[in-house]
Structure 1
Amino acid sequence: MEGGDVLVIGAGALGTLIGYAVIKSLDSLDILVRDVSKVENILERGCRASISGDEYIYRPRPVTWDTLDKRYNIIFICTKAYDIPKFIDKLSKAIDESTILVSIQNGIGSLELLKSRYQYNDIYGAVISYGAVKRGTCDTILTGYGEIVIEKGGYSSIIRDILEPTLKVSIVDDIYSYRWLKTLVNAGINPVTVIFNDRNGVVIENRYAWEIASKAVEEGLKVVNALGITLPRDPLNELYDIAYRTRDNYSSMYQDVLRGCETEIDYINGAIVEYGEKYNIDTPVNKYLVLTVKGLSIWRR
């Protein structure tokens, strides 16, 4: 594959990490950011990834939606889930019918939207369990090791080969089961850290926090069962395990609320509520968490 054939959308913690993995495998990389100030920042400083105490600097070509000038072989979409409806039509400027899209978002809804809008493209869902914290524009620190799980398909091995020299990658038959598992875990951890104003460890260290988190997960499991999805692991065990392993981390939702930014609550707990209503399953804890996080987000702004 020739240099410049790959685009990463988003220069946050995830986009910076994926960009680093891509550019280690390929000759070059384009990274799409929202505005010109971020372009200037990347041109001046490059992108930075801190991994195991070592600082890595790489220099992709920064572009914006207004300056896109080519169509790409592969696009890694590394934005927040709520960003996708905002740019889904603009995405047509960067793709043709042969473009491969890789969607790495939390929650349920964004991948479905992409597949509905671009039905003739190969679109792969992916779930990431690496921990990364944004330090600035295209500047991230890796805080926890995990893996990227990618949907099986005709081009999934190509995606794996690009990422795997740097990141651990697994290919699975049913990405939806992994997406729902992570959604349930996020539904338990993320909003609870917002409410308790604490790190992920509060979920297992505070019995009241655990009760809220576990009930949110149990409601989500009822929805998953109604959908006929078999999860790859027990979600309550996964909730405890992830909360323990990331106990010193602040959830992305917590960080978003602190910065006065939009959150992914509608794609996580909101998705559980939405599907619960569709299948006549009561989800009172998840409804409470959606309303509370939205209220706190507005108050913080």
Structure 2
Amino acid sequence: MSQHLVFGAGLIGCYLGASLIHKNQNVTLLARQQIAQKLAQGILLTDYLGHKVTTPKPTLLLSNSESQQVFDVIWLTVKCTGVEAAIGQLQTLVHKQTTIICCQNGLGSESVLKHAFPDNRVLRAMVPFNVVELADGHYHRGSEGMFTIESSDNDGDFTEQLIKGIQSPVLPSTSCQQMTQLLWAKLQLNLGNSVNALADIPVKHMLQQRKYRLVIAKMMRELLLVTEAKGVVLPKLTSVPAKILPVVLSLPDVIFKIVANRMLAIDENVRTSMWWDIANGKQTEIDYLNGVIVEEGERLGVNTPVNKKIMGLIQALSNSHSNSRKSFSADELYNLVITSK
């Protein structure tokens, strides 16, 4: 049986690790001491559809410890900002046939791994759903989406066998050969992360306010201009096609609630990972999300002013040392990034 390592037992890592344990995979979680203590009684997984899974205490490898063990499959679930720092420890855990699966938001972080491990299979994965920690050891999937692993002509059989081994109601999984296009489509959805961090309210409450949605819609339109210039065709990730999504977000509140009822079918307590990063004083992934749009826009001659302004606000918020963080109302944020010159 393959030896799996979940490298980075945060929200996604713990949810993924417990899902693999539930499928009787041989799994070790690499975790900080603080997380290890939370998992001492095992892991409880729940989701917005009512599924419930309990697992015993997982096998743990502390992040500051040395290990002589190597693994067949490493699920890298650290944030984009932590990928480069992880390479040193990864080198002690990888053998010649190890597959590394990059589970980061945004685009580009896998290139660091491919450079560091040129002889290993490095695949990308997309995590479309949100996970929150409701209590110590209790991880809740609060939104829909299929966990998707990169496939190709060379890696297709491996990916399909891997999916068969992890597929379950708590971790619906599939494969994709057009992973770059899929990740650009996921990036479009992730543009709400920064607005949620600035609003400092649950995602559902944010989406119920039109001026927050108008900011997100404007950022999405800039992304669509960039992908059009790149010749990237975005696949459909939600019930609404990528090009129509900004139109739906721009609808008046009353109509939006009717048309986008599935978009609002998320738990009341869901917030984004960028909100969590700022709340915990951690570096955000803004450079790998909005920053990719700004960078590609500059390269292609496409103007992306709203994404650029949002990047600046997030960076200022991240650098603030104030005990009371700044929150932006819908009117305030809209006026600041849309109407101001």
Same fold (TM over 0.5): yes
Gaps of 5+ in 2: 250-259, 324-341
Native 8 Å contact 2:44 2:52 kept in 1? no
Q: 1:6 to 1:54 in 2, by over 3 A?
A: same
Taking the aligned partners of 1:55 and 1:211, their CA distance within structure 2 comes to 38
- Answer yes or no: is 1:12 the counterpart of 2:4: no
Cα RMSD (Å) of the superposition? 2.3
Q: 1:236 to 1:297 in 2, by over 3 A?
A: farther
Task: Using the TM superposition, give the Cα deviation of residue 254 of structure 1 relative to its aligned residue in structure 2, in angstroms.
Answer: 1.5
**C-alpha offsets along residues 200-237 of structure 1, whole Å, 9 cap, x if unaligned?**
23554322212211111111112212222111023254
Tell me the equivalent position of 2:332.
none
Aligned runs of 1:97-112 on 2, under 5 Å? 97-112=96-111
Specify which of 293, 312, 315 is matched with residue 294 of structure 1.
Answer: 315
Task: Using the TM superposition, give the Cα deviation of residue 79 of structure 1 relative to its aligned residue in structure 2, in angstroms.
Answer: 1.7
SS, match of residue 76 in structure 1:
strand
Taking the aligned partners of 1:88 and 1:13, their CA distance within structure 2 comes to 21
Task: Using the TM superposition, give the Cα deviation of residue 113 of structure 1 relative to its aligned residue in structure 2, in angstroms.
Answer: 2.1
- Answer yes or no: is 1:216 the counterpart of 2:219: yes
Identical-residue share of aligned pairs (%): 23
Specify which of 177, 188, 206 is matched with residue 209 of structure 2.
Answer: 206
Native 8 Å contact 2:22 2:55 kept in 1? no
SS, match of residue 73 in structure 1:
strand
- Answer yes or no: is 1:49 the counterpart of 2:45: yes
Taking the aligned partners of 2:221 and 2:205, their CA distance within structure 1 comes to 19
Native 8 Å contact 2:182 2:234 kept in 1? yes
Tell me the equivalent position of 1:271.
292
Task: Using the TM superposition, give the Cα deviation of residue 138 of structure 1 relative to its aligned residue in structure 2, in angstroms.
Answer: 5.1
Q: 1:253 to 1:40 in 2, by over 3 A?
A: closer
Taking the aligned partners of 1:138 and 1:71, their CA distance within structure 2 comes to 26
Tell me the equivalent position of 2:143.
144
Native 8 Å contact 1:10 1:77 kept in 2? yes
Gaps of 5+ in 1: none
Tell me the equivalent position of 2:338.
none
Task: Using the TM superposition, give the Cα deviation of residue 243 of structure 1 relative to its aligned residue in structure 2, in angstroms.
Answer: 4.8
Tell me the equivalent position of 1:90.
89
**C-alpha offsets along residues 166-186 of structure 1, whole Å, 9 cap, x if unaligned?**
421121110111111111221
**C-alpha offsets along residues 107-165 of structure 1, whole Å, 9 cap, x if unaligned?**
11212222232222111111122221024665412222321122113211122012103
Taking the aligned partners of 2:76 and 2:134, their CA distance within structure 1 comes to 20
Q: 1:259 to 1:236 in 2, by over 3 A?
A: farther
Higher helix share: 1
Q: 1:278 to 1:191 in 2, by over 3 A?
A: same
**Letter in structure 2 aligned against 1:289:** I
SS, match of residue 149 in structure 1:
strand
TM-score normalised according to structure 1 size? 0.89
**C-alpha offsets along residues 91-110 of structure 1, whole Å, 9 cap, x if unaligned?**
11111221111111111121
User: How many pairs were matched up?
Assistant: 296
Native 8 Å contact 1:16 1:49 kept in 2? no
Aligned runs of 1:241-252 on 2, under 5 Å? 243-246=263-266, 248=268, 249-252=270-273
Specify which of 169, 172, 176 is matched with residue 172 of structure 1.
Answer: 176
Taking the aligned partners of 1:256 and 1:67, their CA distance within structure 2 comes to 27
Tell me the equivalent position of 2:132.
133
SS, match of residue 254 in structure 1:
helix
Native 8 Å contact 1:216 1:286 kept in 2? yes
Specify which of 299, 302, 305 is matched with residue 281 of structure 1.
Answer: 302
Taking the aligned partners of 1:134 and 1:244, their CA distance within structure 2 comes to 20
| Higher Rg | 2
Task: Using the TM superposition, give the Cα deviation of residue 260 of structure 1 relative to its aligned residue in structure 2, in angstroms.
Answer: 2.1
Moved more, 199-208 or 222-231: 199-208
Native 8 Å contact 1:31 1:62 kept in 2? yes
Specify which of 222, 229, 242 is matched with residue 235 of structure 1.
Answer: 242
SS, match of residue 214 in structure 1:
helix
Taking the aligned partners of 1:76 and 1:265, their CA distance within structure 2 comes to 22
Task: Using the TM superposition, give the Cα deviation of residue 55 of structure 1 relative to its aligned residue in structure 2, in angstroms.
Answer: 5.5
Moved more, 276-285 or 108-117: 108-117
